[in-house]
């Protein structure tokens, strides 16, 4: 169950994604960075710390002179500059310098926030990703996007800062609550929809084994999603073009997430955004109604919500106008020419978006197929 992917930038290897069935090889991987006289600070949260902090701390202590840790309250509501400030203060008090390292132990919130701290503390220090959720293993830990929310706007402040290593222990999937696992599936299904129709079909064919968390099947799934994300990131590391395709489902998804005050899971909101975007594709004749229904059913069969209640369209639309994916006042919307073939569109109208949202609006029957 050991697998490795090399991530390249400008045709040079910059870090590895290592997949293992345990944390046992973590020290071996980190020792390659020659930190014998250096410090490592593990950043984690109150959900993950009781499960894995002691084991990871013991393993990393073999690779460095001093180990410290900083535990933050779990939840998206803590992903902000106030929390980053507290991490800065900890690093200053512990006398961290530019040659020391941070380690993000947790899900997407921890990875994004620890990465942003690493990108900005002393104008940049190294960090590694140790993702423990499905969403972080298949998506957020890869590619160097870091950031925090600002005044309830998702990831509005951030930086591109590549990790030195992504170490994935697949067994952490077994401790995830059902909602966390299904949230990760939102990004997994998205990968198939934007880049690989055969992978999308494979996910449907292997649904039962995936939901049972058969690790041999989950390993293949995480690896294929990593390959897709790696390829896109290598082609476009700072989102000047192709990387924007990874935002499929995120325009309306982020609006839903914000209007729900970040109480809904990110992957669930992405799934809703994907279903809405699929409806827009059908309105344009790019997908059939049957394909939209199939996409909706696939998200539902993997345990994701397919409707959202309590939101008004005018609020959803206004929120999309403040999204970081705006370009000169125009919303960059990701659509599908077909399953597995996404593109960037700058011509989606408010009326089309409204029709898309009606597909997931739980308060109306709308135009659902």
Q: Look at the chain and report how many structural domains it folds into.
A: 2
The answer to whether 275 and 295 have CB atoms below 8 angstroms apart is: yes
What's the CATH code of the domain at 326?
1.20.1090.10
Crossing angle of helices 350-358 and 313-320, in 10° steps, is 130
| 168 lies in the same domain as 187 | no
Neighbouring residues of 94: CB distance < 8 A, sequence distance ≥ 6: 39, 41, 66, 68
Rounded-to-5 percentages of helix, strand, coil across the chain: 50, 20, 30
State the Cα torsion 233-236-237-239 to the nearest 10°: -110
Spell out where 140-218 has E strands: 145-150, 153-160, 165-169
| 59 lies in the same domain as 183 | no
β-strand pairing of 3-9 with 12-20: antiparallel
Tokens of 168: 């994935």
Q: Identify the domain boundary among 116, 141, 175.
A: 175
pLDDT of residue 328: 64
**Alpha-carbon distance 368 to 347, whole Å?**
22
Alpha-carbon separation of residue 196 from 189, 190, 210, 292, 340 (angstroms): 10, 10, 18, 17, 4
Residue 211 CA, distance from chain mean position: 19
| 220 lies in the same domain as 333 | yes
* Cα 311-316-317 angle, rounded to 5 deg: 150
Tokens of 352: 């089309």
Q: Identify the domain boundary among 122, 142, 175.
A: 175
**Alpha-carbon distance 275 to 369, whole Å?**
11
Residue 32 located in a structural domain: yes
| 91 lies in the same domain as 199 | no
* Cα 285-193-309 angle, rounded to 5 deg: 80
**Alpha-carbon distance 352 to 246, whole Å?**
21
DSSP calls for 249-313 = THHHHHHHHHHTTT-S-HHHHHHHHHHHHHHHHHHTTSS-HHHHHHHHHHHHHTT----B-S--H
pLDDT of residue 265: 95
pLDDT of residue 323: 67
| 269 lies in the same domain as 137 | no
* Cα 151-154-156 angle, rounded to 5 deg: 75
Tens-place pLDDT, residues 193-229: 999 999 999 999 999 999 999 999 999 999 999 999 9
**Alpha-carbon distance 178 to 304, whole Å?**
10
Residue 227 located in a structural domain: yes
Residue 336 located in a structural domain: yes
Q: Identify the domain boundary among 175, 202, 236.
A: 175
| 254 lies in the same domain as 141 | no
Tens-place pLDDT, residues 90-133: 999 999 999 999 999 999 999 999 999 999 999 999 999 999 99
What's the CATH code of the domain at 163?
3.40.50.1970
The answer to whether 343 and 335 have CB atoms below 8 angstroms apart is: yes
| 312 lies in the same domain as 291 | yes
| 47 lies in the same domain as 190 | no
Q: Which domain holds residue 285?
A: 178-358
What single DSSP character describes residue 38? S
**Alpha-carbon distance 278 to 270, whole Å?**
12
Residue 368 located in a structural domain: no
| 218 lies in the same domain as 318 | yes
| 246 lies in the same domain as 129 | no
| 83 lies in the same domain as 168 | yes
pLDDT of residue 331: 84
Residue 158 located in a structural domain: yes
Residue 111 located in a structural domain: yes
DSSP calls for 189-216 = HHHHHHH-HHHHHHHHHTHHHHHTT-HH
Residue 364 located in a structural domain: no
| 302 lies in the same domain as 206 | yes
Q: What parts of the chain have a pLDDT lower than 50?
A: 366-369
**What is the value of pTM for the model shown?**
0.94
Residue 365 located in a structural domain: no
What single DSSP character describes residue 49? I
Look up tokens 């949260």; give the residue: 45
């Amino acid at each position: 169950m050991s697998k490795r992917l090399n991530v390249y930038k400008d045709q040079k290897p910059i870090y590895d994604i290592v997949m293992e069935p345990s944390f046992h090889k973590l020290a071996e991987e980190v020792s390659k960075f020659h930190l014998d006289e250096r410090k490592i600070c593990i950043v984690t949260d109150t959900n993950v710390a009781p499960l894995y902090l002691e084991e990871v701390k013991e393993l990393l202590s073999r690779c460095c002179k001093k180990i410290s840790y900083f535990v933050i309250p779990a939840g998206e509501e803590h992903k902000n500059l106030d929390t980053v400030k507290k991490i800065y203060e900890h690093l200053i008090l512990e006398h961290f310098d530019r040659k020391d390292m941070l380690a993000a132990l947790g899900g997407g919130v921890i990875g994004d926030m620890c990465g942003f701290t690493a990108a900005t503390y002393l104008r940049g220090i190294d960090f590694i990703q140790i993702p423990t959720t499905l969403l972080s293993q298949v998506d957020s830990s890869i590619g160097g996007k870091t950031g925090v929310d600002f005044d309830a706007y998702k990831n509005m402040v951030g930086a591109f800062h590549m990790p030195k290593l992504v170490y994935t222990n697949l067994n952490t999937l077994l401790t995830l609550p059902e909602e966390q696992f299904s949230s990760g599936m939102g990004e997994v299904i998205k990968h198939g929809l934007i880049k690989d129709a055969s992978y999308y079909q494979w996910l449907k064919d292997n649904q039962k084994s995936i939901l049972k968390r058969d690790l041999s099947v989950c390993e293949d799934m995480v690896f294929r999603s990593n390959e897709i994300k790696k390829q896109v990131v290598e082609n476009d590391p700072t989102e000047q073009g192709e990387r924007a395709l990874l935002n499929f489902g995120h325009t309306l998804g982020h609006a839903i997430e914000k209007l729900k005050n970040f109480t809904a899971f990110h992957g669930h909101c992405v799934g809703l955004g994907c279903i809405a975007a699929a409806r827009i594709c059908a309105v344009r004749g790019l997908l059939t109604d049957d394909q939209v229904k199939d996409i909706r059913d696939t998200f539902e069969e993997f345990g994701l919500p397919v409707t959202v209640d309590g939101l008004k369209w005018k609020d959803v639309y206004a929120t999309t106008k403040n999204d970081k994916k705006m370009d000169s006042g125009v919303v960059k919307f990701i659509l599908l020419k077909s399953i597995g073939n996404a593109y960037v569109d700058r011509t989606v109208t408010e009326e089309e978006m409204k029709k898309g949202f009606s597909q997931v609006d739980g308060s109306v029957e709308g135009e659902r197929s």
